[in-house]
Amino acid sequence: MVTVGIVGGQDAETAASRLRALGATVVLGSGSAVAFRIAMADTSGDTRFVDAVLTDDEPVHLQVERLWSTRLRQWSEALAGGGQERRPPSVQPHDPRWEWAGRRGVDRVRSTLTALDPAGVFRYDHIGSTSVRGLAAKPFIDLQVRVPKLPDPADLDPAMAAIGFLPATGSRPDSPGVRRDAPRGSEVVPDEVWAKRLFISPDPLSPTIVHVRRLDSPWGRHTVWFRDWLKAHPAERERYEQVKIALAAEHAHDADPDDYTRAKSGFFDEVHQRFEEWALRA
């Protein structure tokens, strides 16, 4: 069941009542961790981190019903069924909205994990191609949380479920990057450092992936270094884009993105030493 938060506004109760009737769990106010946040037309303050703003142009119940039919119902059904859609890779031109989607996603994940981080040491990143302005990408927002040790699933999974995420199962038993990262780089670390958790939000309009890694995982640093290196080197960013477009075309009829992901890592392997040296100098 998807949990919707509604912030302020004189028609908030009307919207909440209609959403509850349709099958959503609704929380009024901004203090709770929710999967989807709605602001009313007369909501004051910064609304950049909300997912939808209801206007005065048409009745509130019609806007709520449209949100439910086009987005929230599918999301809720996917959460209830535990199903995760498999699809071949599809690389799209960069969408400027991805930057704000990443910020909203980080804000949402931080809100639900605060209770697991009393010392305030978790680190949150928007990573992957959607985090690099101008770079074509699969339309999935990749986020990363770096933690001192992987939380107990009994604590982590319900916290992520509250904001609309399921533990990822992978398309195949050996899907890359689901339960652990492949060791790489110059650092020598214990094998357990490569363990991770992966979560996916089956939001049909803004699918999001969250990688939970240890703070001492080299992969956690590599993703940030690679992101920043691409931002600082436009020619390499363009070359990476062409590699991805060609590989996506090659794997367009695959049943899932696994082979595309493995093939794409060739570029990462090629430039790894360069971006690692660049990051360590910076």
Q: What is the pLDDT of residue 83?
A: 60
Helix axes 97-113, 153-161, angle to 10 degrees: 130
For 12-36, write each residue's pLDDT tens digit. Answer: 999 999 999 999 999 998 778 999 9
pLDDT at 44 over 80: no
| Mean pLDDT of the 89-115 span | 94
Q: What sign does the CA torsion over 129, 133, 139, 144 have?
A: positive
Percent of the chain with pLDDT over 90: 77
Average pLDDT, the chain: 92
The structure tokens listed for 239 are 């070359």
| Mean pLDDT of the 240-257 span | 92
The residue among 39, 37, 53, 48 whose CA lies nearest residue 3 is 37
| Mean pLDDT of the 66-76 span | 95
| Mean pLDDT of the 168-179 span | 81
Burial 172-199 (b: 16+ CB within 10 A, else e): eeebbbbebbeeeeeeeeeeebbebbbb
Least confident of 63-72, 178-187, 204-213: 178-187
Report H helices in the chain.
Answer: 12-22, 60-67, 73-81, 97-113, 153-161, 218-232, 234-250, 258-281
